[in-house]
Amino acid sequence: MSKIGKYCKAYPLTSFREFPGWSENLDGFRKEDATTGSENQLDETGGDKFLYLQEDFTVTDGILLSEHVVFDKITADWIEYCKSTLQFQIPD
């Protein structure tokens, strides 16, 4: 069942790729854009692709917490990168 978390924030894919420990689960990327019905074309640069950093520090291709997970290797370094570099902070 789909689950929406309490908070997530969109960032360009290029921002995530700057993290040294970044790796992508290619199966996590949505295959079709829901708004246009066209196939998503993901190039090496990430183009203008946006992904969502979730409250549990996973990264998804959509707002749902448990679907289309692109990155889930949560480490202390990753959390620090999210907080310091991406300025990710869950509001009170």
Q: Identify the three-state secondary structure at position 8.
A: strand
Kindly give, in sequence order, each residue whose CB lies less than 8 Å from that of residue 54, ignoring residues fewer than 6 positions away.
5, 7, 8, 60, 65
Nearest alpha-carbon partner for 79 in 70, 71, 88: 88
Give the residue ranges of the chain where pLDDT is below 70.
Answer: 32-47
In this prediction, residue 92 carries a pLDDT of 86
